[in-house]
Amino acid sequence: MGAVKRTVIEMVVLGVASIAVAATANTVRPKGALSWTKAYFAPRVVPPTGPVEPVTGKVPTPPENGGKAAPSKTEPPSGKKHFEHPYQTASLDLVIDVVNSDGYLDGQFVLVDARAEDVYADGHIEGAIRCFHYELEVCFDRVVEAANGAEKVIVYCNGGNCDDSLFMCQELELKGVATEAIYLFEGGWKEWVAQEMPFVTGSEE
Amino acid sequence: MLKATMRWIDGLNVPATALVRFFIGGLFIWMGWNKVLDPVGFLKQVHLYDTLPVTPGIYLNATAIVLPWLEIVCGVALILGVFLRGSALAIAVMLAFFTPAIFLRAWGIHTTEGTPFMEVAFDCGCGTGEVIIWQKLLKNTGLLLLTLLILFSRSPRWCLSGLFTGAQRCDDAMPAGAPTSEGA
């Protein structure tokens, strides 16, 4: 057998062995297993031409439980650009406004935390529904149910160049939630804690 | 030229290629394991390269599931000296694919965001966190050259097969027709 042929065969054997090991490991791993076939990412949505309509939030009010007054709209703390997207952007002011409104409890406004379970448990905005983009099967129905008919659905993740919130927005849009109702809180969790806003800990019940 | 290079490599009486094997093998095991520990993070990194279709999901998901283990398996094979040239070829192919992909993504950031190319830094999904890209490209090129050295060396030493056969060289344990200048 020629050396070239033997080398290629060796490489193929290693490839097959890797697939077998990977499949086994992915099946038996207790956490973080990926589906082989599920499309985790929605197709990239082409941003609309022209300016996005400004968000018309109410005048922000500081939280009652000792948090600092809300600052004006800020760039994501990381300084990195978020992906281009067709959704309206929620400023920190708007999120504060929503969280403090009566409509938040009544389902008029919905906040979605698109981060993983462990970081959600470490701290999240009170009342936010947790749904990690990679575990849609366990939480997405609840999010869609809450989002349908809501006036504003604000989605956040870690902030900066975190894209889990964007993927969640795309999934919501694909499920029929009106694009105009979907807001992306780009500053996300980083901005929320950077401004020393109040949060709660623990998993969802 | 190729023959002369191979003769030179072969003439290295010190187990230079073996040390290179251990270094590259260990590096790939480490980088692969870091990816195995965070499959979602690696999947997102693969997606950011925008080279594979998002639907159907099999392309991205299979890459994120298999690639880390391919790196580990090849790293182990390289260290043990089992399927030595096959693992070296696989690693060379991976490096030859990853390096231009990293360059293209960095160049995209350079042109769209105006960041000077030498200052472009991001997590390339290599299992090492955020890196300065020109340095990463340089390192990858060096790794590729070292991997080619293993691939083209004619008489590598210190292989697992030698433990059982008593062979001094990896290829001695193989059937007739050991790699020659036409090889690999």
The pair of structure tokens assigned to A179 is: 């694009």
Quick one: closest CA in B to A21, which residue? B69
Which positions in chain A touch B87 (Cβ < 8 Å)? 10-11, 14
pLDDT tens series, chain A, 205 aa: 688 898 999 999 999 999 999 999 999 988 778 999 888 876 665 544 444 444 444 333 434 433 333 333 333 333 344 456 788 999 999 999 999 988 887 888 999 999 988 899 999 999 999 998 888 888 899 999 999 889 999 999 998 767 889 889 988 988 889 889 999 998 999 999 999 999 999 887 5
Rounded CA separation B78/B20 (Å)? 10
The span from the first CA to the last CA of chain A, in angstroms, equals 64
Nearest to A37 among B57, B70, B73 (CB): B57
Contact A28, B51 (CB under 8 A): no
Give the CB-side neighbour count of residue B182, counting CA atoms within 13 A. 8
Any A CB within 8 A of B156 CB: no
More confident residue, B152 or B34: B34
List the CATH code of the domain at A37-205. 3.40.250.10
Among residues A191, A200, A159, A201, the alpha carbon closest in space to that of A93 is found at A191
Binding-face residues of B in 70-89 toward A, CB within 8 A: 70, 72-74, 77, 83-87, 89
Instruction: Classify the C-alpha dihedral A63-A69-A74-A78 as positive or negative.
Output: negative
CB contact B55 to A (< 8 Å)? yes
Mind telling me how many Å the CA of B116 is from chain A's nearest CA? 15
The verdict on ipTM greater than 0.90 is no
Q: Chain B residue closest to A5 (CA)? A: B184
Alpha helix (H) residue ranges in chain B? 2-11, 16-37, 39-48, 58-80, 84-113, 133-152, 160-165
- CB < 8 Å to B69, chain A: 18-19, 21-22, 25
pLDDT the model gives residue B102:
94
In this structure, chain B runs to a length of 184
